Amino acid sequence: MDVEVWSDVICPWCYIGKRRLESALRGFEHADAVQVIWRSFELDPDAPARATGNLEEMLAAKYGLDRAAARAANARVTQLAAAEGLEYHLEVARPGNTFDAHRLLHLASARGLQAELKERMLGAYFTAGAAIGDPDTLLRLGAEAGLDLPEARRVLGSDAYAEEVRADEREAAALGADGVPFFVLNRAYGVSGAQASAVLLEALREAWAARHQEP
């Protein structure tokens, strides 16, 4: 059974949703038959490769908040992440354009390394303050995940996998996904947002039952 997840590597709820999905899969009786596929979604397609300002300033500008309110919002999501075993340091996060990150994730998918690279990208951005739009950062993370460095460099130096990223994004729009994470189970069930693990587990069971029900 396929579980497709549209997400962005700078989306704090996407990392939380990833952990909640992993928790749900640990309780799912048929987890060994589930393939998780990460699909591309850009929260800010027009962002520069290296955005100026910090996350707090960007959040305040985007939602019309004052700095105190933006700081409080970051504190709340950091606390929720901690409940899932994640260590967020949003004060050092370095936002940027994620199109190249998604292209590299498609290469990783083709090489059977997508899960490893997705986890490294999320951890690097939310915990270590890595500049996610920087090519050198992406190459380092790709190599750590097991990608061939010369091949990864060739991909980033070209437009390879650009159409695959755009196709994912067109499909998200067609499915009505205007936010992430967005989970699609077996091409039959959709779950929007970083829902609780219990909700995701129930969705997994329903999708499995629907797929395997008697005619």
Task: Assess contact for 59 and 73: CB atoms under 8 A.
Answer: yes
Q: What pLDDT is recorded for position 58?
A: 83
Q: What pLDDT is recorded for position 43?
A: 95
Q: What pLDDT is recorded for position 131?
A: 95
**Which pTM does this prediction carry?**
0.95
Q: Report how far residue 133's alpha carbon sits from residue 177's, in angstroms, rounded to the nearest whole number.
A: 24
Q: What pLDDT is recorded for position 151?
A: 98
Task: Assess contact for 85 and 19: CB atoms under 8 A.
Answer: yes
Domain boundaries, the chain: 2-45+98-212
Q: Edge-to-edge strand order for the sheet containing 35-40?
A: 35-40, 2-7, 182-185, 189-192
- The highest-level CATH class for domain 2-45+98-212 is alpha beta
Q: Report how far residue 95's alpha carbon sits from residue 125's, in angstroms, rounded to the nearest whole number.
A: 8
Task: Assess contact for 36 and 46: CB atoms under 8 A.
Answer: no
Mean pLDDT by 10-residue block, N- to C-terminus, for the chain (215 residues)?
98 98 98 98 93 83 87 96 98 95 98 98 97 97 98 98 98 94 95 98 96 68
DSSP state of 131: B
Q: What pLDDT is recorded for position 215?
A: 47
Residue with tokens 């499909």: 171
Reduced to 3 states (helix: H, G, I; strand: E, B; else coil), residue 17 is: helix
